[in-house]
Amino acid sequence: MTIVVILIPTVGKNGKYKVNHVNVNLLNDFVLTLFNILLLKILINVFKCSVTIQTMIGNRFRIALLQLNVGADRSKNVENAVSYINKAKSGGAQIVALSECFNSPYGTKFFNDYAENVPDGPSCQALSKAAKATNLYIIGGTIPERADGKLYNTCTIWNPQGQMIAKYRKMHLFDIDIPGRITFKESDSLSAGNELVMFNIGTVKFGIGICYDMRFEELAKLYRQQQCQVLVYPGAFNMTTGPMHWELLQRSRANDNQVFVCAISPARADRGYIAWGHSQVTDPWGKVLAKAGHEEEILYSDINVSECDDARQQIPIFAQRRVDIYNTVLNK
């Protein structure tokens, strides 16, 4: 592991040395790591420096999926999320991700009452503060967003400085009817988003979808074509479609596109819309790396995105597509 350390020592007001910025970049060289740890120890102990360490995300990082109980009280939901973000920090996470509707019950009759402005509403502001306090990246699940007289199901993404770096609005609304089992019509109250959203954390490129979006392989493929390595889907499947399709769809998107897929559910509730739970991380080979139960928990996963390169080189499906044939058939 190589640690690249950038130190700017200055003398503080109390006459002690102070190190303003230390950027620690983890690569692969064990000896240099030891050397740099020694250097930091000398600075701290001999010169009595105070040190701020900022971890850069490289090919490897730890993500924590927060599968949380969600009730009717928005403030309590948000407080619970913040307390779990702090726990995930203690668990070594560098990125945390929340579920769909982490601040409100999931249901068309609730969206209007719980809707907020993005990024000025109280839930967003709490995420901004939490990101800054913990020095973490937060993929902020979703909240009902109010904008231009419309409602959206919106995911916000926050950097460790507390700034919103991206915002995605659910593109495919969850309108289904399985008679006697589940009928749901998000479009009764929500409007659909129209944009793909990608962002970089360090060297890693992420793409965002929300729940029902994972059924649409076109969206995942567009993200893969734009070089994304990790797709994150805050979600809330239910007790009918969850057992049938939740794992299958994530493994399919991961395997088809040779990407990591992270999907975050709320914990299973005992009334109203009952979420399936089972937040999951799947690798670019389609293997499930980590899977939660259905109760409140933090699901950690250590991701190494160089596995995407391995899968893509060894099974090069994106270079082997017979678009010449597909296009000919389509154009007939």
d(CA 144, CA 122): 12
100 or 247: CB nearest ligand LYUYDEPV:
100
Give me the least distance between CB of 241 and ligand LYUYDEPV, in Å please: 3
Give me the least distance between CB of 2 and ligand LYUYDEPV, in Å please: 43
132 or 245: CB nearest ligand LYUYDEPV:
245
Catalytic residue numbers, as ranges = 100, 170, 211
26 or 263: CB nearest ligand LYUYDEPV:
263
Give me the least distance between CB of 310 and ligand LYUYDEPV, in Å please: 30
- If one counts every other C-beta atom within 10 angstroms of the C-beta of residue 40, the result is 19
Q: Say what the alpha-carbon torsion angle 139, 145, 151, 152 is, to the nearest 10 degrees.
A: -10
CA angle 279, 282, 287 (to 5 degrees): 125
60 or 245: CB nearest ligand LYUYDEPV:
245
Tokens of 162: 């507390």
Give me the least distance between CB of 182 and ligand LYUYDEPV, in Å please: 8
Give me the least distance between CB of 174 and ligand LYUYDEPV, in Å please: 3
User: Which positions lie near ligand LYUYDEPV, rule CB under 6 A?
Assistant: 100, 174, 211-212, 215, 236-238, 241, 245
171 or 298: CB nearest ligand LYUYDEPV:
171
